[in-house]
Structure 1
Amino acid sequence: MTIIKIQRVKNLKATVKYSVQKHKTHDELISTFECSVSSIEQDFRSVLNDYNNVHTKKRNLTARMIIQSFADADHLTPQQAHKIGIEFAQKYLKDEHQYLVVTHIETDHIHNHIIFNDINFKYNKVFDSRREHSLHYLRLVNHEVSANYNLSQINVSKSDKKYMNFREYVVKAKGRSFKEQLEHVIDASIQKAKSYEEFLQLMKASGYEYKMGKHLAFESPTTKRFIRTKTLGIDYVESSIKYRIEHKAYQPLKVNIFKKQWIDKTQEKFKQSKGLERWATIQNINYLNEINAQLYKEKITLGELNELRHTTVAFVQSFTQKLTQLDDEIYTLKKLSGSFEEYKESHSVMFMYKSLQSDAERRNIKTEYNQIFRRYDIVKRNIKTLKSIYNIQDEAELQYKLSLLKTERNLLYSSLNMNTANKMMDLNNQKNKEHQDQHEL
């Protein structure tokens, strides 16, 4: 998801100084057009003087800053983000304004700061600040540039509303996050499907092409990139999806108890922007309200809630590790499945090959049974692995081992059921209450 906004620059010198700090850019993600960082104020003012010389109404020095943010899901390198910022600046400003492009990498999300002169030096006119140009056209150009790089984004077209405010824009963009959307579609398809094969067909009908392998992956309808479902969490890997299809009442135990997080307002970016600081304050108030609602709902103290949160995180992480190990072992054994039967089928061909005397006859046999010869050494190695590591002597033992692992996996995964967790918590609360009552007596 790519989000973009534009704002006035109140103090050009301070804004540039803040933007080009070494820890934000590593001193390399900085580009300029028709100006330099060290003399940007003088360079901008020189163009302003040219403007004032030909206009009766004199203007003061003014500039604007565009902030272009990228989603983690797009997996951009800082260099790629910087290149996109430059391309956007060229297309939006049409090489008619001086500008500075800076890429910040010190926060959770890579983002660009594009600072430009309000004066168009080519035509000696002022930047068109009408909402159609500074909002709608801004987003439209960003959409076009993002599409060139297959970035996830909000849909913007010439027929869209011109006056959608920034909050609506961000909400719409976040609502279209591919991972969130994919998670939602998977959950809905699991509830409808009667089998794993039907689940895959439902996903395909919803516009998500799938790819099978060690990890199930779905293709984004917009970016055409595949994303592995394991990146959504243990509840979305193939084995878990199969279990959830067969157990519709199963509710995954989520790691994050709270939807919101506390925002640290001591960071430099909040000191630089009063608007951003006010936004963070509102978010923190909402966070406290959520905690308060959770305390009231669960009838527990803040200390107990924090303990529950830490316990839940540790609990899920521990089980995720065990489940991943089981999934890896199941995948390995599935790949080795059929090796014993394949070895038996190839045995007669290999016996015939060894009994031949002439090289010509051997070459003919190799050509005729090329596939068997190519697979023979692989199958022998597979059987050696099964016998030495897993102590499995035939196909029946292999299938039995797989069934045991799948059963163990299902039993372990069922422990992550939200319903089970709630029952355990109720039981613990009841025990604590009984202990407290006895203590009071």
Structure 2
Amino acid sequence: MATTRLMKRKTTPGLSVAQSIKDCTDYGKNPVKTEDGKYISAYECDPATVDAEFLLWKSRYRAATGREQKADKDVLCYQIRQSFLPGEIAPEDANRIGYELAMRWTKGKHQFIVTTHTDKAHIHNHIYYNSTTLDCTHKYRDFLGSGRALGRLSDTLCLENGLSVVKQPKMKSQGKYKNYGEWAKGRERPLTFQQKLCAAIDAALEKQPSGLAAFLSLMEQSGYEVKQQRGAISFRAPGQERFTRLRSSTLGKGYGQKDIEAALSGSRTGTGHHSHRVNLIIDIQSKLQGKGSGYERWAKVFNLKQMAAALAFLQENNLMEYEQLEKKAAETTEHFHTLSGQIKSTEAALQTNKELKAATVQYARTRPVFQEYKVRKYSRRFLAEHEADIELYRAACADFKRILDGAKPPKMDELKEESRELVEKKKKLYAEYRKVKEEMREVTAAKANIDYLLGYAEPGRKKEQER
């Protein structure tokens, strides 16, 4: 279920047009609300320079059409607020649905930015789209009933993604529209189709089916329609419009097709996180001082569990020889540090790209003013009237010189494409980084426990035992 609201954003009293746009987009991009910008996406603009790009397109519109409205009547941008029922959706899914809503609503003709806020009990999106079209020939025109049309579009997306919708938007007794609190009051949080599917998968695996065919048969018996196409497996529950594909990006970690096949083959138990998470053994003698016999009993049981987990981990990963374990620990640690270095270099490249885009926007906006300044032979009067823009132009030129070292400035389209490639590369690196980090943690913890058991943790003990 998502409630929506469409708002016009005009020039704030006491602020310039540029400051007004920046003020509202900065609220949406608040790092505290978006988990340090983790849940921000954009179309035909960069989140870091969205306010400047909105302003640039408005300048192009005025230059192309010659039309300009009064400041108090000019709509700078439109804001959509989309709120979801608490506990019904994950932030990344909310951002994806918000992006789809903005794309369908604007038909891809306007720049927009989608920011997902997670600082409240209900996850909600703030969507800002430029009132000026991308071709700089028209502006978005609000129409009678646009709020209801937006709500229907949002409901359609919710149904497509297995979310609930407000079935009776008006309160019969009062003839008023329900607000979010009135609709949610007294309601239980319904399970999504994805959550129900995960529960059905868990129930089927608990019956220990002999193979994939037996597993799919159990899923059909529980009421699910099964579809196999090009090696991919999908399920559809009664009343569900679309099939849900068996993959971890949709259902969560442990519910991908490879995970299920591994569980069926016996190489992995269940669908949740790793069943034998290895932690470091406690050195009881060094920790015992000042503690009673209860702590000693607990520590001994804890250590036995960790040794059992370490042994299970070594068996699962075929690391029963100490040399193999030592080599694996060294390899995963080296791989982790390599990925860490690649992520840092990618982030540095993204920062450079961000600075270049900001300089490019600033240069394009202020260059006509500086050209006029040159035509007027560097008039002091003209400088006094346009000093801020001239200083911004010179700052943009200085940024180009510092970053490019005399090379020709790239075009904005090239910078945007480079930014998209770098963001995609960073996502892939981070996905691998998290996986390798967890692997390194478990391997090194298992090795440390084995070293403790064999006495290798004591200086010189390993060489002595090898002799």
Q: Output the TM-score relative to the length of structure 1.
A: 0.36
Indicate the structure with greater helix content: 1
Q: Which has the larger radius of gyration?
A: 1
Q: Larger relative CO (CA 8 A, sep 6+): 1 or 2?
A: 2
